[in-house]
Amino acid sequence: MANLSYLRAFSLTLFISAATTGCASLGGASHNDIDDSDAHDPFQSYNRAVHGFNQSFDQTVATPVAETYQTVMPDWADKGVTNFFGNLGDVLVLTNNLLQLKFQQ
């Protein structure tokens, strides 16, 4: 019986702790108070150019190729390609485990 009352007290303490944790506040600046307009990014123009290239490449090349692949490729062949790359990933995991001397996995 003592174990049951201990379990109830522990459960109640755990519940109250979890329920009141969300009420804690660190104070300080909120996300709305931070002004990042003066933040300096020396690579901003480069990042914008790369982002623009990625967007246009995705729209003009990657998406049409992926949609065509899904339309043309039969299910059995798609499964074979998926299995091939899955097996290739297993080789990488095996190599990683051997380098870390993890023989149990």
pTM for the whole thing?
0.47
| 8 to 14, 21, 51: CA distances (angstroms) | 10, 20, 56
Domain ranges of the chain: 49-104
One digit per residue, the tens of pLDDT, for the chain of length 105 reads 566 677 777 777 777 776 677 666 666 556 666 666 778 899 999 999 999 999 999 999 999 999 999 999 999 999 999 999 999 999 999 999 999 998 876
Q: How many CB atoms lie within 10 A of CB 78?
A: 13
